[in-house]
Amino acid sequence: MNIKKICFIICVFLSGTIIYAGGYRISVQGNKQLAMGHTGVAVISSAENIFFNPASMSFLNGELNVSLGVSGVFSNVAFQNQDLGISTATDNSIRTPVYAYGTYKINNWLSAGLAVYTPYGSSVTWPTDWAGSHLVNNIELQSIFIQPTVSVKLSDHLSIGGGPIYAIGSVNFNRNLSRTLSNTEGARTNVTIDDKGITAWGYNVGLLFRASGKLNVGISYRSEIIVEAENGDADFENVPSALPGDFSDTTFDASLPLPAELTVGLSYQINNKVLVAFDFNRAYWNVYKSLDVQFDNSAGLSRNPRNYKNASTYRFGLQYTANQRFVLRGGFYFDESPIQDGFYAPETPRNDSVGFTGGFTININPRLAVDTSFLYLRFAEVTNSYDFFDDGSSFGGTYKSNAFIPGIGLSYKL
């Protein structure tokens, strides 16, 4: 058994879960903005603005704004290889990403806020000992991002904002060491990788220009975040004693870049009832050329090519204010995949996708509102493989993926 091949699979775990949350790069950081196609860089709505564009906090109505919310992620991935007669699907539990935002207007020109959200929570399980079990059996990921932010109003038309991002997370991954390897009792040989308390730092900045009473233009930038896994646990089980190499339990270190993102957009108030918005997002995935993992045993250093490309997302949103009590929203977005041919793996079979969104707000009174949203995300069917094993082999087939995500939240202003 090739040690480097084993190390590659561990790398796949890290890249797949931390970046894609189990194969999906789903954005659910605000029910109002998600309902509008996840536009928001130029939309002034609620405390959700602290995530979408920190500069816009200065233009929020009220001295205090608070937004809380939760979503339910129902997703599945189906895999088929007709040549091998293989057909299977993931057994995914429900995930519930949450967010909590609060902003406070200190004076007419200075506002401060705090955001807490969970952008990369996931749980993905393939059937035990399935055809791709040598790549992945199951993945679990938990994360929380904490973002303190300030916003400065430079004039009645222009504001800026920004602050640091502190990320905390944990990961757990299991896979079989090969397609067939087992011990003398017939139990499949597998490895579990686990690390808790992973932390990383980044930052975000934004600018909002109110060109007129109807037109807003916004820009938001999120920095690259370097995720460092240090002294994580690697637990090998059911390894035959005759197998050459060092398969004793050990620790590992790894470094992984989460890409920088730039979002530009505009919103236009057509009349007192209808608002439209457009966002363009560019994620700089080309920084992710390879993932290197250092093991503290004879496995040594493993280098694993990923060769991602930059990818864009195009978002459209519409808001209709029926009356003082009821606001209806809808939207659409197209999201490009950064994964290139030959780099597809079972935990990240992510092709180009389209998202259809909708939702509404019910204003209970002038201060308190209930916000709802839904997202149906459909990935284009893709037939592809991962072709960079050391022994020249590959694993591939046809992947079909989709997700349905309802959400509910509360907004409060004072």
Q: Provide the 3-class DSSP secondary structure of residue 282.
A: strand
Q: How many domains does the chain have?
A: 1
Full domain range(s) for residue 327 = 3-413
- pLDDT in the model for residue 208: 98
Average pLDDT of the residues in 378-386: 88
pLDDT digits (tens, 9 = 90+) for 245-290: 777 888 877 777 778 999 999 999 999 999 999 999 999 989 888 7
DSSP-derived secondary structure for 113-181: EEEEE-TT-EEEEPPTT-TTTTT-SEEEEEEEEEEEEEEEE-SSSEEEEEEEEEEEEEEEEEEESSSS-
- pLDDT in the model for residue 10: 40
From 124-128, 186-190, 344-348, the region with the lowest mean pLDDT: 344-348
Closest to 308 measured CA to CA, from 337, 291, 288, 293: 288
Structure token digits, residue 396: 């591939």
- pLDDT in the model for residue 315: 97
Find the CATH number of the domain harbouring 159.
2.40.160.60
Q: What band does 373 get if pLDDT is binned at 50, 70 and 90?
A: very high
d(CA 63, CA 336): 39
- pLDDT in the model for residue 298: 62
Amino acid identity for residue 354 in this structure: V
- pLDDT in the model for residue 20: 36
DSSP-derived secondary structure for 187-206: PBPEEEEEEEEEEEEEEEEE
CA angle 332, 337, 341 (to 5 degrees): 150
Average pLDDT of the residues in 357-381: 95
Which helix H or strand E contains 2, and what residues bound it? Answer: none
Which helix H or strand E contains 25, and what residues bound it? Answer: none
Residue 365 vs residue 246, higher pLDDT: 365
Q: What band does 9 get if pLDDT is binned at 50, 70 and 90?
A: very low
Q: pTM (2 decimals)?
A: 0.88
From 13-22, 163-172, 354-363, the region with the lowest mean pLDDT: 13-22
Q: What band does 96 get if pLDDT is binned at 50, 70 and 90?
A: confident
The answer to whether residues 97 and 117 touch, using CB atoms and an 8 Å cutoff, is: yes
- Residue 272's contacts (CB-CB under 8 Å, 6 or more residues apart) are 321
The answer to whether residues 118 and 144 touch, using CB atoms and an 8 Å cutoff, is: yes
